[in-house]
Structure 1
Amino acid sequence: MVSCGLLTVQKEPVPLKSIEVELEVRDHVATVVSTLNYENKEDKPLEAVFVFPLPGDAAVCHFSAKIGQTQIVAEVKEKQEAREEYDDALSSGQQAFLLEESEQSPDIFSLSVGSLPPGESASIRLEYVTELAVQADDGLRFCLPAVLNPRYQPQGSEGVQVISVPAFLVPYSLSFSARVSSPRPVSKAESNCSLDPLQYLSTDQTQATVKLAAGHRFDRDVELLIYYKDAHQPTAVVEAGQASAEAGTLMGDPVVMVSLYPEFPQSVMSSLASCGEFVFLMDRSGSMSNTRIRSARDTLLLLLKSLPMGCYFNIYSFGSRYEHIFPKSVEYSEKTMEEALKKVEQMEADLGGTVILQPLKHIYSQPCIPNQPRQLFVFTDGEVWNTKEVIDLVKENSGSHRCFSFGIGEGASSALINGMAKEGGGHAQFITGTDRMQPKVMQSLRFALQPIVEGVSVTWDLPKEVSVTVLSPPITAVFQGQRSLIYAQLTGQSSEAAEGCVTVKYSLAGHPSENQLHFSLRPAADTGLTVHRLAARTLIRSLEMEEGDSRRENDGGVKEKVVQLSVQSGVSSSFTAFIAVNKDKNEAIQGPLLHRDIPVPMDGAVHCCLSSVGMSYEDEDYSSNDDMGFALFETCEDFRGECTDTVLMNKTAEQPPRDPLLQLVSLQKASGCWLLDPALAAALGKSSEEVEKSKPAKANSEVWATILALIWLHGLKMDAKDEWELLAMKAASWLRAQKARCVTECVEAGNALLGCSMKKEALGL
């Protein structure tokens, strides 16, 4: 078991002094180089252990150490062999460095720096490549995880144990700079952290640099959003193989990375599904307290109001145990919606730890409802210890549902959130900092209401002397405007001018569709081996998922394939580790070796929620390691007091006034209409008399109320259109079904009352 410890209890110095991160973004692929600078200021040799997060889909491809003028480059070896080599080196007085991925979660790594003599410094260089995810607003998201929250572990379970410290106690610094280059102009860069201004390096604005402002406090992950002009262009990049690798192997042959953006016909997109079984699974563990649980309740309100009549739904919530509102999914109606909303309003973050496996098993044990495709929405701050087990379960049940996942707050596990969506054929979103949860969730609901794409096939048209081996798992989910990535190995020789073509065919709402991309087979210049490493990582992850299946079938062959591919490509896996031994040092390092664990920052919200109830990590609901909580609270006594007072004060303080938009939404009926009553008048900022007096004489009360609500949304809340668009479509649909007279008169009177100038057509009427 790896333990990341808190050291300041014993007032011992932390040998990690600084972390420097350089990011290079080429189009939608990122290469990250992190340099970790260590110094031993003690009088005995040290072993330092640092457990830290990386993006869950990162391909770690280089690890080296520099001591003085000596540079040692690590090799990838089978994990047990690497550990034994590391231990042997330390016991014989040599310096050694070990980097390994957690077997439970691919977004946690452990770095051991062994036998650093007194007064000695070492620089560790770690390099990885990763794809950048496309956001709802077309921005490309890069996230440097800085926060590693405690992963909830039930009694008796094994895995990586982490003790974190509040941001202001982190004893090392972080510097971060990014260089962006793309065939298309870079329009802007945004971050949840303070940035120095974007600097353009070329007049056509296709190259730029940006830096994190000095003094980063480690209280959040560093999120960088990059925006290109015309980002949704399909592309293909062919990368030449490694000259030293054998032809016919993954590293020896050219590899192509194809990114496609399917566009659906407008006629199909305008008819969103009116059926489905929607199951919402909400995290109510202690770390979801305060603003998170309030935002979750508001989000569930919007979701419930936006569901189509005729569908089915249920809401589960979980912590150390789980609850559900209905014994099984029920038909959506005014009665069931109101019953669910009453329960939602009472939800608090009071269910303990984060055990997501049991409620998932219960949901999957429920029989599917005929002709109602199951759509699962999972909301969690992602602090589970058994990530791979959870993703395996989603994959096993991927034939019967789509899974949409949401990572809430700093430190949410990217491996868990991305893995569930990828294996569940859905879409992943991350909600950090001051992000509103609602727009991202409503975008995913729009995806869920799109017709399910069936019969996806990918065909290649290449010169006859070139054959193709697809390395990516089959595409199972296609959403409007969302990128699909395919990696493939190209074997055989072709002329410089040769072209290839890839075609994706699928059926959408019974209509056959296809997207095609022609590309040059000439390898791109200056890509390094980025595409090969991403392709190797994709294949390794697929094989690791298979390995879970083969363990159940007692077939050990998959592990050997993963180890072989990992060693050949130099890309990390859960079965291998990077090992470097300094064999140049002539004399053995003398004296007993002191062990030092490096603390990592934790999300303030998690710390506050634990402190506020006087809970330590060894409580049953947080961890099985008996020393953890006391170490944390002994160190942070002042912080704990301050935090407790704040949170308890928040608990007793009045709830903040409800957002006017949510106030209006809460009054909508399941059918889509509003009632003409004093509550609606108040939400519109008018008196009952004003609303009643302005109503055209022949107008039906509900028609008038619904038109007023639509005018208010379109006229005064366009900045939040993503949040209310679906429920407004439902309201317009209800109005059209009424075949009401005097709609034009109502729109004119409503505009006059609310000070707007909306046209009937703009309201969907």
Structure 2
Amino acid sequence: MTYFLTAITWYYTMVTCCGLLTAGKEPVPLKSIEVEVEVRDHVASVVSTLLYENKEDKPIEAVFVFPLPGDAAVCHFSAKIGQTQVVAEVREKQKAREEYDDALSSGQQAFLLEESEQSPDVFTLSVGSLPPGESASIRLEYVTELAVQADEGLRFCLPAVLNPRYQPQGSADGVQVTSVPASLVPYGLSFSARVSSPRPISKVESSSSLEALQYLNTEQTQATVKLAAEYKFDRDVELLIYYKDAHQPTAVVEAGQASAKSGTLMSDAVVMVSLYPEFPQAVMSSVTSCGEFVFLLDRSGSMDCPMGSNQNAQTRISSARDTLLLLLKSVPMGCHFNIYSFGSSFEHIFPKSVKYSQETMDEALKKVETMEADMGGTEILQPLKHIYSQPCIPSQPRQLFVFTDGEVGNTKDVIHLVKKNSGSHRCFSFGIGEGASSALINGVAKEGGGHAQFISGGDRMQPKVMQSLRFALQPAVVDIKVKWDLPKGVSVTALSPPITTLFQGQRSLIYGQLTGKSSKAAEGCVTVTYKLAGHPSQNQMRFGLKPTEDTGLIVHRLGARTLIRSLEMEGRENTKKEGGGVKEKVVELSVQSGVSSSFTAFIAVNKGSGDAVQGPLVRRNVPTPRMGLRLCSSPYSRVKRGAPPPPGKVFKMRGCSAPPPPGKLFKMRGRSAPPPPPVVFGCGATVALDMAMAAGPYRAKKGISKRMATAQCHAEEEEDDDMSFGIDGSFRSADVEPQQPPRDPLLQMVSLQKASGCWVLEPALAAALGKTTEEVEKPKPASVKNEVWATILALIWLHGFKMDAQEEWELLAMKAASWLRAEKAPCVTECVEAGNVLLGSTVQKEALGL
């Protein structure tokens, strides 16, 4: 009992000091958030209005740490108190902080907005000296580009979820995140969007409940959409916007700001060119058969959370295991591969990448099947360093696939490491679940010359990952050059970094600052030249130089943001050589353009507020929603080894030389520590209990941690107090471990494919086809090999019954067809006809690639 009370005290101490949970009875001054979005083609302008009200009898300082898109250009910040409006100005960050502190100490109302120095998708908003009974309306504006999805939709995401970012051991603490379970968020959201485009709008979809799309004109080029009433701001808001003939090259020229200082970025015109390269079909039809594929899988505790808000949904780690199965079956023969997994430490299946074969694939899949979210925190930097320390294999281009829920505090360090090694590989990244850092996922893909994907809500991971694999199998585009052809007297200064990668049909944005004057009828041209599989190619875009009207300086701010991010990255690369030169450039550009950076902040002081606010300020942390059970990705993972373990967990102990305790639920692997005593706990404790898996020698045993992790932490849900574990290893519960659901039929079929691409005639294949072994064997032509017959049946089944998931199995089907062609099997037409009769389908031989 003494141990139990000590551990509970430790648990609540950790909750309080790490800021994971707000004290339940503290008032929250943020009352509501209203968001208005204007989408113009593939760019969005966002205006957020946050209403604060102090209902206490003392002045407060409200601090809100919240997420924004990682590539957003924050360009306006203001506050309205009563009838007084105060517009913030951009200052060097330290000066802005000093001005804010000086204002508070003198009793003035002040407002500070600053970007995290480690993660550009995290902002802190401080509302200082809000008197009793006073309200304040905060207006925040930013612009952002919309990412292109696999199905050609444009993705807009308003992030709500900001899970605590894991800080690696030995690093300085970042911003402290205050979060609560999503169902307990005390403020709501009003959200509306207006969409306009030169092309008709086909549809707008969302994982959230939307009101019907309202078209504003007969051409259907303008429309509005709103979230359904009574929406709770408890998860990210995602819009998918579809245009007819969406991906056409475009160019927008925006006039400069008349009041801006001459010669600056804001005074000159800026052009934004959007290109969608189309590669020759002859090159695209041939998939490369070489490459080193390195898969890096996040196994931190938070990967045991459900994929969406439905707690019965497949867990992230389970979906990742299924995805690795598809990937390993789809890798071409002749390639090399390895699989890394990480948490607070990292592991790899092979000491170095191995040649892809039946033996190595089987060994890898056997280990993948046992992978659980049981490795603690989210330290991605060390496994990346280890991967990059391995020599590249000659004639095998390295392709790195990173799967993570992206909750790290050292985002810029990770991105910088990827950029530093960008010459030796391409990096494809996948952000899994609500709260994945857009700055991290987009950053490593951009700097690694790859492609980023986000999987959230009810999304399936597999189709998005397979699209990225198709990109990885495309021949590498090299010698990319951008050439501008402009009228005499007009010159261009590139604002975008050099293009390092191009993919078929994927957008490339180029920003340029135009200096000089030309006639309104003048035209410019930008040409992108490159080599693809040894063949010279080019894409060209001609555009008029007449500025587009009423753009609200969107293009200028996006161009400024692009240049700021490039300079910040340059500063990290040349810290010693450049000194403060890069920082000075960033600060100057940020102040001129009014766009945020890691070196600047927005500061607003209400100097005309009359009497000074009296009395000491009380700090109030405004919480963000936390999705599911955020386990070892939290600051709990920073607990030093040797700290007392949390109560009620089932552990195996690592590296222990002492004899193991009695019972079956304990293992020791190299560390001596006493096992926990018998403890009974309820659902309110289970949130923190799993968070200490990275904290010491203890580690949750596979199969038990998942049962523990799925316990709900919301107060309104049913209690789970009947679970307990004893020192004798017994599992005392009214419930038993839930059985795993039956495997998806498609994955069952995929799991039976051999590395070469063929299937074997076996009882498991017959079962996957829904037939008996006798029924499958009987119609086989006598002269045909068993493997040929089995492979044709599998292909017929895929084409006949799983066309809705074709993007998931297309590559492995191509491998199977290639194997069949190499076999030069007789009677293929007869086999296809017999297979159709057996399976009750009508698939044509040509559809199978034969």
State the TM-score bracket (shorter-chain normalisation): over 0.9
Query: Do the aligned residues in 1 keep the contact of 2:202 with 2:244 (CA within 8 Å)?
Result: yes
User: Within 5 Å, which residues of 2 pair with 1:614-653?
Assistant: 615=688, 619=692, 621=694, 638=715, 642=719, 652-653=737-738
Note closer, same or farther for the CA distance 1:162–1:504 as it changes in structure 2 (3 Å cut).
same
Q: Once the 2 structures are TM-superposed, how far is the Cα of residue 4 of structure 1 from its aligned partner?
A: 9.1
Give yes or no for the alignment of 1:377 onto 2:401: yes
Q: Please give the per-residue CA displacement for 1:561-617, whole angstroms capped at 9, x wherever unaligned.
A: 000000000000000000000011121111121111111101114269997855359
2:225 pairs with 1:148: no
CA drift of 1:652 comes to 1.7
Q: Is the 8 A contact 1:537 1:571 kept in 2?
A: yes
Q: How does 1:225-624 map to 2 (within 5 A)?
A: 225-289=240-304, 291-553=315-577, 555-606=579-630, 615=688, 619=692, 621=694
Alpha-carbon distance in 1 for matches of 2:456, 2:208 = 11
- Kindly report which structure 2 residues correspond to 1:754-765, keeping only aligned pairs within 5 A, or say none: 754-765=839-850
Which of 757, 770, 784 aligns to 1:672? It is 757
TM-score relative to the length of structure 2? 0.86
**Structure 1 residue 649, shift from structure 2 partner:** 9.7
Alignment-mate amino acid for residue 162 of structure 1:
V
Is 1:736 the counterpart of 2:821? The answer is yes
1:442–1:10 distance in 2 versus 1, CA, 3 Å: closer
Deviation at 1:434, TM superposition (A): 1.1
CA RMSD of aligned residues (A): 2.1
Question: 1:466-493: per-residue Cα shift (whole Å, max 9, x none)?
Answer: 0010100000010000000000000000
The equivalent position to 2:135 in structure 1, one of 114, 118, 121, is: 121
8 Å Cα contact 1:7/1:598 also seen in 2: no
Aligned to 2:504, the other structure's residue is in SS state coil
Shift of 1:194: 0.5
Indicate the residue corresponding to 1:631 in structure 2. Answer: none
Which amino acid letter does the alignment assign opposite residue 126 of structure 2? S
Q: Classify 1:70/1:210 alpha carbon distance in 2 versus 1 (closer, same or farther; 3 Å).
A: same
CA distance in 2, matches of 1:156, 1:337: 37
1:690 to 775, 787, 790: 775
What's 2:709 paired with?
none
Contact 1:61 1:571 survives alignment (8 Å): yes
Cα separation, 1, equivalents of 2:836 and 2:629: 44
Q: Distance in 1 between matches of 2:67 and 2:109?
A: 24
Provide the residue aligned with 1:134 in structure 2.
Answer: 148
**1:38 matched to which residue of 2?**
52
Deviation at 1:167, TM superposition (A): 1.1
For normalisation by structure 1, the TM-score amounts to: 0.96
Match of 2:115 in 1: 101
Q: Which residue of 2 aligns with 1:178?
A: 193
Q: Does 1:92 align with 2:116?
A: no
Partner residue of 2:176 out of 138, 161, 164: 161
Q: SS in structure 1 opposite 2:739?
A: coil
2:651 alignment partner in structure 1: none
CA distance in 1, matches of 2:338, 2:753: 19
- 1:629 maps to none
Cα-to-partner distance string for 1:125-146 (whole Å, 9 max, x where unaligned):
0000000000000000000000
Distance 1:140 1:439, change over 3 A: same
Opposite residue 477 of structure 1, the aligned amino acid is T
Instruction: Tell me the CA shift for residue 636 of structure 1.
Output: 6.3
Q: Note closer, same or farther for the CA distance 1:7–1:727 as it changes in structure 2 (3 Å cut).
A: closer
Task: Please report how far the alpha carbon of residue 215 of structure 1 lies from its aligned counterpart in structure 2 after TM superposition.
Answer: 2.5
SS of equivalent to 1:168: helix
Report the Cα offset of residue 3 of structure 1: 9.3
* 1:681 counterpart = 2:766: yes
CA contact under 8 A between 2:450 and 2:501: conserved in structure 1?
Answer: yes
Shift in alpha-carbon separation, 1:209–1:415, aligned structure 2, 3 A = same
Match of 2:812 in 1: 727
Query: CA 1:597–1:636 in structure 2 vs 1: closer, same or farther (change >3 Å)?
Result: farther
State the distance in 1 between where 2:734 and 2:467 align: 35
The one-letter amino acid of 2:362's match is E
Task: Please give the per-residue CA displacement for 1:57-78, whole angstroms capped at 9, x wherever unaligned.
Answer: 0000000000000010000000
Question: How far does the alpha carbon of each residue in 1:249-302 deviate from its partner, in whole angstroms, 9 at most, with x for none?
Answer: 110000000000000111101101100000000000000016111111100000
Distance in structure 2 (CA, Å) of the matches to 1:105 and 1:190: 29
* Structure 2 runs not aligned, ≥5 long: 1-15, 306-314, 635-682, 697-711, 725-732
Deviations 1:598-648 (A, max 9, x none): 11101114269997855359847389xxxxxxxxxxx96836974798999
Deviation (angstroms), 1:117: 0.7
Q: Is the 1:196–1:212 contact (alpha carbons within 8 Å) kept by the matching residues of 2?
A: yes
Counterpart of 2:71 (choices 57, 73, 80) is 57
Cα displacement (A) at 1:85: 0.3
Mapped partners of 1:166, 1:655: distance in 2:
27
Q: Secondary structure at the match of 1:586?
A: coil
Deviation of residue 554 (structure 1)? 5.5
Distance in 1 (CA, whole Å) between partners of 2:691 and 2:540 is 56
1:198 to 213, 219, 226: 213
Bigger RCO (CA 8 Å, 6+ sep): 1
Q: Distance in 1 between matches of 2:317 and 2:347?
A: 16
Partner of 2:702: none
Structure 1 letter corresponding to 2:286: S
Question: In structure 2, what is the equivalent of residue 627 of structure 1?
Answer: none
Question: Could you tell me whether the CA contact under 8 Å between 2:63 and 2:125 is conserved in 1?
Answer: yes
1:82-113 per-position Cα deviation (integer Å, ceiling 9, x unaligned): 00000000100100000000001000000000
Residue in 2 aligned with 1:112? 126
Provide the secondary structure at the position in 2 that maps to 1:252. Answer: coil
Query: How many residues in Structure 1 have an aligned counterpart in Structure 2?
Result: 753
Q: Give the corresponding residue for 1:218.
A: 233
Q: Percent sequence identity over matched residues?
A: 79
Q: CA deviation at 1:759?
A: 1.1
Unpaired segments ≥5 residues, structure 1: 624-634
SS of equivalent to 2:715: helix
Aligned residue identity for 2:272 = M
Whole-Å separation in 2 of the counterparts to 1:240 and 1:548: 32
Moved more, 640-649 or 538-547: 640-649
Name 2:94's counterpart in structure 1: 80
- Which residue identity is paired with 2:156? F
- Equivalent position amino acid for 1:184 in 2: R
CA distance 1:325–1:6, shift in 2 (3 Å): closer
1: CA distance, partners of 2:837 / 2:106: 86
2:90 aligned counterpart, secondary structure: strand
Spell out, residue by residue over 1:472-526, the C-alpha distance to the aligned partner (whole angstroms, 9 max, x if none). Answer: 0000010000000000000000000000000000000000000001100000011
Aligned to 1:712: 797
The residue type paired with residue 369 of structure 1 is I
1:15 aligns with 2:29: yes
In 2, distance between residues paired with 1:204 and 1:4?
A: 54
